[in-house]
Structure 1
Amino acid sequence: MSGYPHGVAQATRTDPLRVLEEIKRQSLEALGGLPGTLYGPVEDALKLAVLKGDGKTNHYEEQAALWVLRQHQAAHVMRFRQQVAQAFDDFRALRIRSGGEVTLRLVDEQQLEYELASGRLNESLVARFARPLDTLQGRLQNLCEAMRVPMGANPIGPERLVAAFAQTLLDAQVSDSLRGRLFRHYETELIRVLGELYARINTLLATSGYGGAVAPPQPRPPQEDIRRGFGDGMPSPQGFGGFEGFGAPSPGPASAAGAGNFGRTLSTPMSQQEIAAMASELAQLRTQLHAWRETVPRSDASPASGGMSGADRAVMQRRELRVDEILSVASLLQAEPPDAFARALAVSGRLGETIRDHLQDGARRLGLNPDQACFSPEEEDAIDLVALLFDSLFRHNALQDRARRLYARLVLPYVKVALTDNAVFVKREHPARRLLDAITEACEGNDGETPQDRELLDRATEISQRIVADYNEDLAVFELAHAELDALLAQQRRRFELQEQRAAKATYGRERLGAARSQAETALHERLGDSSLTQAVAEFLAMPWRHHVVQTLLRDNADPRRHAEAIALGDALLMADRLAQQNRGRELADQLLALQPAIIECLASSGLDDSAAQHGMAGLVRALIDPDTSRRVRPVPPIAVPEDDAGEGERRLWLAGGTDTIRHDALLAERMRELDVGDWVRLTNAEGETTAAKVAWVSPLTSRYLLVNRRGLRVLVASVEELAALAGSNRLSIGAERTAFDEAMRQVRRHLDRATGTR
């Protein structure tokens, strides 16, 4: 492959088979999970249809059939991916294309229905994407000529993609109406994905030399400038996606990694500015790492350790281990139990030393004498960065004990990735990076309490085992694993969003209840105050009337008339008590007769039926008809709060204070007010555990912020003053990254800066 960066026209063409493999990789990445994304929207549409239905359509049968489909979702996704992959095999003529006589056979009714639905969908998509499809057809023709095979059907054309979907569902028992819904949602998803995919594939073909006209070659950028971004000894990039790694040899035609690493060398084109920016970022990271390493005492002073200075190595005349040797050692150890790494993850700072010890032990098994070899500086960088990365993931994410072994399995595969492709530390689209983000999303805060949570943990565990078994310097393993796990996460994210909404509604309900109780308490204090009342009237005001005021505020908040009537009832009872005290019997009788409907309604709002309410009214009358009934100032009894409103779990969500009287930094409070819904922060609880939290909702009543974790579960409800107090005590940090890998690398850089005293 040419050494020109992506985005620069090349005079020579890239190997057509490698280009086709890259088109296949990008297509599977973009399209592979589509069947798994349909069931959620279809289920929502069915629920809406049930609510609006006229009873003529049996939507419940459709829901039952959809439930069966969801049970086989993983199989459908895999079958669909196989169909798409088979289209590329057919295009390469790896399968004998049909010719000659075609065997006639009967077509069953269900297949005929699928073919009719497929035909309609195909026509719609062809009309919509006519221009990019024409361009793509011409460039694929050039690709076929280069491969010296006859032109086949476009493997990602609408016809093949629609046929792939129909074949995926062909054996499923699906009613006509449900089939129509599935095809409509599939069309919506294809329209969303295909425009960008066709543009990327057309650009890829053009930049690889299979466009219309080939532009003249441009001069290479100065290699010295690119090398300077990597530090001494680093190879120049073949475009940033092609960073061979920490000291790895440049892949050539005979490279063993060859086609396996092609996903890194022929990814989406990037500009030279993007390449330079990421190269500079990586160089800065390595500089920080080297400065940090000088401050860290090493206990691994064995001859194979790279902790010695270059002068020590020269004196003892030891050679540096080659990257392919380290890869062989790591591959040997990769399938072994990860117990040592799991124990090291439990102790901050131990993982790097454990990785070195394991690699040294593996080198001995392969016959490499540790007394005569040592790690190169680039290999040291890879080991330390992976160790710091995994340490940071465990320190700054709420990962349970079960996750420790899962991550421990991935340590050596990620060391191999770092050795062969250091772009993983600075390139956000890197497949290994995306997989680690998905695994962390599946595991963070997941204690496996629900079947869905257990399914996520089981799938993440299965995927980590698959990486260990299958990874051999081919990043496609990470891409396929990420696509599978992300398809499952896509279903769960909708559930998490609903949990966020429920948390916001529950919090708002508690706030409204608290505000209503506070108003009712104030109204009661104003009326009991210094008034001398009979016991019956005081108890009525303190219990059913106070509750009635709360209910009118909650249920009839938009109707101030109802609240005014409830307040007026309390005042009228005070007047009735005074009339009784003054022995004004006729006026008292008139007053009680006028109040009877309101008193009955007040008692009924406390849950009393009509008979009990009438009995309560009679007791109030009996207490008032005797003018000699004792009267005195009654204290206001505390309000009875149900246990579920004031449980320990709820109190832990709210910090002490809650007003601007709490001690806080005013500037920090102003910064907290700038937080928007969707912003992420890092929150440390009283036990020292750190977790990512998102601003899910801001109360319109109290301006408090609701923070939830990645699973949509409530973590904290607090005012800006409380958040500022947390930030001032280093228990809350703002500006956190949205993905776990980005945040872990940010924390790694901060750790390196603090350790070297640069901050």
Structure 2
Amino acid sequence: MSGHLHGVVQTTRSDPSRVLEEIKRQTLEQLGGLPGTLYGPIEEALKADSLKGDGRNHHYEDQAALWILRQQQASHVMAFRQQVGHGFDAFRQPGSVVGGLGGSPLQLVGEQQLAFDLDGERLTEALELRYQRPLEMIRSRLQMMSQAMGAPEGDNPLGPYRLVKAFTAIYSEAQVNESLRLRLFRQYEHELARLLGDLYGRVNNLMATAGYGVSMGGAGAPVAPARAAEERRDRNTLDSVFDTVPHREAAASVPHDYNAHSAASGGYGGDGHAAHAGGHDNPQISQADVAAMASELAELRSQLHAWREGMVKAGGLPPGQAPQRSMAPRRELRIDEVVGMASLLQPEPPDAYARALAVSGRLGETIRDQLFDGARRLGFNPDQTCFSAEEDDAIDLVALLFDSLFRNHALQDRARRVYARLVMPYVKVALTDNEVFVKREHPARRLLDAITEACEGNDGETPQDRDLLERASDISQRIVSDYNEDLAVFELAHAELDALLSQHRRRIELQEQRAAKATYGRERLGAARSQADAAVRERIGEGRLTQAVADFLATPWRHHMVQVLLRENEDPKRRAQALALGDALVMADKLAAENRGRELADQLLALQPIIVQCLASSGLDDSAAQHGMAGLVRALATPDSERDEHAPPSASEVEEDIAEERRLYMAGGDGSGAHDPLLAERMRQLEPGDWLRLTNTQGETVAVKVAWVSPLTSRFLLVNRRGVRALVASAEELAVLAASGRLLVGAERTAFDEAMRQVRRHLDRVI
């Protein structure tokens, strides 16, 4: 039985030399051929640039230099592999001079060498910043390997410094001009960005499996200043967001990062084992803040206790699943004993949890059922033992958290098994590390956010979406198989999934941009149609017209007006000319009615080119346009033609998909109803990037983001987490939704934060 707490390094370690050799093999396997992959994309880019040139700028010098480099491709690949290998040799013997990367005598540096060094330094800094977290873990593990080998600590052989030095070493002596040098660096950075995330994840996992683990709990790597600053900015953002929930609920939903709490102040570290992360030593957190945060966690626990006791009294929990401390004198299980039960159950099929997630409120009962079963298998008598208050809190918080995630984040049924696998690992995390519920940067918390981002609203329609679901499923399997109270497993899994999600986020941004452009195009079309309808009504309503003139104004001329307003709205001359055509036709009909034949003939001759052009804009060819013109002339040539009043055209119909969208979210389908002016004014303060919770008329809630505000109508485009348009509504319509309780402004940006917020609201509501 595994009873130790997280952060304990595995005592059985593999031979460090063999581990280092395996790391070298994997590094060369993934990166060894990099120089050979650079030339093709650069050559294509040069060809594209030459085709786009104006005849004055030529790229033949770059192409000639690149052709020379391509002739030496094999030697460049070999030299690069040797330089990377020298980095591993230098790690084993840090004092030696290997590969010309250090220890050379002082000498003058040429301009090309200096340019390569400066560009290399910039690239090194960019890569170190980008991969800061996995590099810190690799650095710590390599230090442990150096100690195991009895050698001083050397440079990371697969870090950005070594990889960039290996690159510059093979090209600094080549004949490369400035333009080609910049292209080489840019392409090399692109290739590294494509490969390093996966490589660093594999290497970290390899070293952790070999026994060179790093505790990510209390004494783990410090949070980088930039990351800490970003974390503080995320917390402060909530201060300026309007929230329609009561103040108490809003305050309870704000996530806090506090670290060290004893069991007496709300921690879950039974037997005096409080998870400590040096929170009291953090200069950014005052003692008053720590006390306030501890008080808030204590309040959450008191809410849990009141909720649990209320459920027992109301019969909401079966007697066998209720807290048993007051039923008979029983021994409370220790934390390590419950963790051992969870470790026994962790690799077993998650069918019971998947079924429980399908029924709200059943997960906590199922977790206790499974733990009781594990207790029996380990020789504990459930009639003589019970969970402690801290253990009950951990179980209930995990159950409420997962239930909230599954209820409020548009997760498909196929994602249920992914979450079901994670239930028991997260119970273990909650038992041994209470920071998961309060610390935004906790690895287990960040992984759950990433998995929810990958699964929310994902129906697997596209290959990219299916890849995301498969990767999330694989990662949940890996957590089940690898997690043994070492939080580094969560950190590595998050880094891998986040690398894939970064590409997905770029696709979502493009989807949002397309939705905004499509919405703006529809608004412009709707505005043009409304103006054209108003112009037609104004002219048809002036008096009695022949049927031919009325039909021409209602159909071809209206379409022509729409085209002019859409394409040439900024040209007042074209707009005035199109309007004058309508007025001239009404005048021609009047001349015909008064039998003023000569003036009518002159009027029609003058209008013929414009009328033909108007008909052509409706898609008619020249012959059909001439035929339409002839029909108009025939109708006006007879003074006694029947003239009558004609009904003006009705308002433009709303597209079916927009009508369906408004029926889904707007009561009555049009969002009509009285609104609170103050609430509407607050809605106008929403900006792109603000998150909201929107509930449709069927009661389903989805997280939506303000993606765009129309410069034409000031309406807000709301998209879901997949970047798909959900609703376009005015501030007044949003105010109506908020007043009816179906719109909540100020939703949390991450799934875990929002789930904890919903847990607090649920406890408040039930109590």
TM-score, length-scaled by structure 1: 0.71
Q: How does 1:100-249 map to 2 (within 5 A)?
A: 121-124=119-122, 149-153=151-155, 158-162=160-164, 179-184=184-189, 232=264, 245-247=268-270
Specify the code of the residue in structure 2 equivalent to 1:374.
C
Q: How does 1:449-598 map to 2 (within 5 A)?
A: 449-598=461-610
Counterpart for residue 757 of structure 2: 746
Specify the code of the residue in structure 1 equivalent to 2:264.
D
* Cα-Cα RMSD: 4.7
1:284 deviates by 2.6
Are 2:416 and 1:365 equivalent residues in the alignment? no
Of residues 662, 667, 670, the one that matches 2:673 is 662
Give the distance between the partners of 2:766 and 2:642, measured in 1 at CA: 77
Q: How does 1:65-84 map to 2 (within 5 A)?
A: none
Give the distance between the partners of 1:621 and 1:751, measured in 2 at CA: 74
Are 2:356 and 1:344 equivalent residues in the alignment? yes
Give the distance between the partners of 1:183 and 1:604, measured in 2 at CA: 54
Specify the code of the residue in structure 1 equivalent to 2:505.
R
Bigger mean CA offset, 625-634 vs 582-591:
625-634
Give the distance between the partners of 2:41 and 2:396, measured in 1 at CA: 47
Q: How does 1:568-717 map to 2 (within 5 A)?
A: 568-638=580-650, 648=660, 652=664, 662-717=673-728
Are 1:511 and 1:701, in contact at CA under 8 Å, matched by a contact in 2? yes
Give the distance between the partners of 1:321 and 1:714, measured in 2 at CA: 51
Are 2:296 and 1:281 equivalent residues in the alignment? yes
Are 2:345 and 1:307 equivalent residues in the alignment? no
Q: 1:301 to 1:233 in 2, by over 3 A?
A: farther
Are 1:500 and 1:696, in contact at CA under 8 Å, matched by a contact in 2? yes
1:415 deviates by 0.3
Give CA-to-partner distance per residue, 1:145-200, whole Å, 9 cap, x none.
99963352356865225368999xxxxxxx9997442235589999xxxxxxxxxx
Q: Secondary structure at the match of 2:361?
A: coil
Are 2:714 and 2:730, in contact at CA under 8 Å, matched by a contact in 1? yes
Are 2:404 and 2:755, in contact at CA under 8 Å, matched by a contact in 1? yes
Give the distance between the partners of 1:96 and 1:754, measured in 2 at CA: 64
1:658 deviates by 6.0
1:432 deviates by 0.4
1:441 deviates by 0.7
Are 2:89 and 2:98, in contact at CA under 8 Å, matched by a contact in 1? no
Are 1:229 and 1:280, in contact at CA under 8 Å, matched by a contact in 2? no
Give CA-to-partner distance per residue, 1:90-130, whole Å, 9 cap, x none.
89x6x577979999xxxxxxxxxxx9998664455689999
Q: How does 1:23-38 map to 2 (within 5 A)?
A: none
1:292 deviates by 1.9
Q: 1:101 to 1:537 in 2, by over 3 A?
A: closer
Are 2:119 and 2:185, in contact at CA under 8 Å, matched by a contact in 1? no
Give the distance between the partners of 1:411 and 1:122, measured in 2 at CA: 46
Counterpart for residue 29 of structure 1: none
Instruction: Name structure 1 gaps, 5 residues minimum.
Output: 1-16, 18-23, 25-33, 62-79, 104-114, 168-174, 191-203, 209-225, 236-244, 252-260
Give CA-to-partner distance per residue, 1:607-660, whole Å, 9 cap, x none.
11112111111111111112122211122344775966766457647665768x
Give the distance between the partners of 2:572 and 2:398, measured in 1 at CA: 63
Counterpart for residue 222 of structure 1: none
Specify the code of the residue in structure 2 equivalent to 1:284.
E
Are 1:301 and 1:308, in contact at CA under 8 Å, matched by a contact in 2? no
1:281 deviates by 3.4
1:727 deviates by 1.2
Q: How does 1:311-322 map to 2 (within 5 A)?
A: 312=327, 316-322=328-334
Give the distance between the partners of 1:504 and 1:47, measured in 2 at CA: 31
Are 2:508 and 2:723, in contact at CA under 8 Å, matched by a contact in 1? yes
Q: 1:445 to 1:289 in 2, by over 3 A?
A: same
Q: 1:385 to 1:120 in 2, by over 3 A?
A: same
Q: 1:144 to 1:655 in 2, by over 3 A?
A: same
Of residues 459, 467, 485, the one that matches 1:447 is 459
Q: Secondary structure at the match of 1:706?
A: strand
Of residues 238, 244, 250, the one that matches 2:273 is 250
Give the distance between the partners of 2:362 and 2:471, measured in 1 at CA: 28
Are 2:721 and 1:719 equivalent residues in the alignment? no
Bigger mean CA offset, 638-647 vs 564-573:
638-647
Q: Secondary structure at the match of 1:702?
A: coil
1:667 deviates by 2.7
Paired residue total: 617
Give the distance between the partners of 1:49 and 1:668, measured in 2 at CA: 57
Give CA-to-partner distance per residue, 1:325-382, whole Å, 9 cap, x none.
1111111111222111111112211111110011001111111111111101110010
Q: 1:488 to 1:128 in 2, by over 3 A?
A: closer
Q: Secondary structure at the match of 2:560?
A: helix
Specify the code of the residue in structure 1 equivalent to 2:454.
A
Give CA-to-partner distance per residue, 1:377-411, whole Å, 9 cap, x none.
11001000001111111121111111111111111
Q: 1:52 to 1:359 in 2, by over 3 A?
A: farther
Q: 1:712 to 1:117 in 2, by over 3 A?
A: farther
Q: 1:300 to 1:623 in 2, by over 3 A?
A: closer
Are 1:278 and 1:427, in contact at CA under 8 Å, matched by a contact in 2? no
Give the distance between the partners of 1:102 and 1:46, measured in 2 at CA: 33
Counterpart for residue 54 of structure 1: 52
Give CA-to-partner distance per residue, 1:414-462, whole Å, 9 cap, x none.
0000001010000000000000101111111111111111111111111
Are 2:692 and 2:703, in contact at CA under 8 Å, matched by a contact in 1? yes
Counterpart for residue 386 of structure 2: 374
1:308 deviates by 3.0
Bigger mean CA offset, 290-299 vs 724-733:
290-299
